[in-house]
């Protein structure tokens, strides 16, 4: 069977809602919910702080690193387990070393997601920030980026895909002009829905979470740190899990990934994430991308037929994720979202700079019939 046309909605919890807010938090497969339940029963049965529990948990951590490393094409020890995308961003923002001449480059400033803007904005107290000018879809000219880079540029921080327009930035081309300037990538809007290969992107650091396109639980995050780039960051937290003591009073950080991990991890969440990631791999990331493109193209096409609809984002489907952002001329964006939710259709209110927009973000478990039902409801607003 063609997986793009296959209805897999039964693999997810049943609901009377049409859920199109996967760019925020996605649904979890039933198998992942069961895996979390099974883990909790087993973990408590063997004793959470028993000798038997340590290898049990260690195996779960090793499994999720292997699975995520397979998805983004890196080594398992380059995957640091966090709670969120924001955690990984702060590891970089607070771990780099700067002097008074240092600068970093940010795309579009307030056009960025808050999580990939506020941590860098806070650095303004000690370094300068350079704004990379953008067009209406959030793209920029490569020559503009190249002109901003100088000997004091310590980092370029970019989103892989944009949370508001869905635009996918050409990171492979971008990396080639950085001249060894470190690159941080916020890939919260790409891992799990398009191909993400860090060996091709050639970034130093990447952060994403498990609860968006990877269909994992809340409170799970992943931070990719290239082995060769680990020395660029000084951990800002320290504990028995991340460091060792020698000569009675001296401390040394452990190697990756332990270097950036203090305290216990969200073990049950990690088990759910690993199960969801394997579900995606079994379906096939290329199949996910193809199905998401089909659903988003259908939604955009049908929306464009409705009078007063204003669409945002690139026309080229290969230049965007499945995010479809729009407004209805003469209607408040919040009102549109609220009225749809009262009819069991879940979208999101977001913004493009100062403009409030309605954002839909279908994922591969959504169906064509759901898209058409949404269209019919919007026509009646």
Q: Provide block-wise average pLDDT over 10 residues at a time, the chain (381 residues).
A: 82 97 98 98 95 94 98 98 97 95 94 93 92 96 97 97 98 94 98 96 97 98 97 92 87 93 92 98 97 98 97 97 98 98 98 96 98 98 93
Q: What is the pLDDT of residue 1?
A: 53
CATH 3.40.640.10 in the chain, residues? 31-282
Greatest Cα-to-Cα distance within the chain, rounded to the nearest angstrom: 74
CATH 3.90.1150.10 in the chain, residues? 9-20+284-379
Is the domain spanning 31-282 CATH 3.30.930.10? The answer is: no
Count Cα neighbours of 252 within 13 Å in the Cβ-side half-sphere. Answer: 5
Neighbours of 248 (CB within 10 A): 5
What is the SS3 assignment for 22? coil
pTM over 0.85: yes
Hey, which bits of the chain come out as E strands? 18-19, 79-82, 103-107, 128-132, 153-159, 183-186, 205-209, 221-225, 243-246, 250-253, 309-312, 324-328, 345-346, 348-352, 355-360
Residue 36 token pair? 């979390």
Is the domain spanning 9-20+284-379 CATH 3.90.1150.10? The answer is: yes
């Amino acid at each position: 069977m063609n997986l793009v046309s296959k209805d897999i909605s039964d693999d997810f919890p049943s609901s009377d809602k049409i859920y199109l807010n996967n760019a925020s938090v996605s649904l979890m497969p039933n198998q992942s919910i069961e895996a979390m339940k099974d883990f909790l029963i087993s973990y408590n049965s063997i004793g959470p702080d028993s000798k038997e529990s340590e290898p049990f948990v260690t195996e779960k951590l090793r499994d999720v690193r292997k699975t995520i490393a397979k998805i983004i094409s890196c080594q398992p020890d380059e995957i640091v387990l966090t709670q969120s995308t924001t955690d990984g961003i702060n590891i970089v923002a607070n771990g780099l070393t700067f002097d008074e001449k240092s600068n970093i480059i940010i795309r579009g400033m307030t056009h960025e997601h808050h999580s990939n803007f506020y941590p860098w904005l806070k650095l303004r107290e000690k370094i300068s920030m350079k704004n990379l000018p953008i067009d209406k879809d959030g793209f920029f000219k490569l020559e503009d980026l190249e002109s901003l880079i100088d000997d004091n540029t310590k980092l370029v921080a970019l989103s892989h895909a944009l949370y508001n327009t869905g635009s996918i930035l050409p990171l492979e081309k971008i990396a080639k002009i950085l001249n060894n300037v470190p690159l941080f990538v916020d890939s919260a809007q790409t891992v799990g829905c398009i191909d993400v290969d860090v060996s091709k992107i050639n970034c130093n650091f990447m952060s994403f979470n498990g609860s968006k396109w990877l269909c994992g639980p809340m409170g799970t995050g992943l931070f990719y740190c290239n082995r060769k780039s680990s020395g660029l960051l000084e951990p800002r937290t320290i504990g028995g899990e991340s460091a060792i003591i020698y000569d009675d009073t001296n401390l040394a950080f452990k190697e990756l990934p332990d270097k950036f991990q203090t305290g216990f991890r969200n073990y049950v969440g990690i088990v759910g994430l690993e199960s969801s990631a394997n579900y995606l791999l079994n379906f096939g990331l290329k199949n996910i991308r193809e199905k998401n493109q089909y659903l988003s193209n259908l939604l955009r096409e049908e929306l464009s037929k409705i009078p007063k609809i204003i669409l945002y984002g690139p026309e080229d489907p290969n230049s965007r994720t499945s995010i479809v952002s729009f407004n209805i001329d003469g209607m408040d964006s919040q009102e549109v979202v609220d009225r749809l939710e009262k009819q069991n259709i879940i979208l999101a209110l977001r913004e493009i700079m100062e403009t409030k927009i309605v954002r839909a973000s279908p994922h591969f478990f959504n169906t064509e019939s759901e898209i058409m039902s949404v269209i019919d409801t919007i026509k009646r607003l």
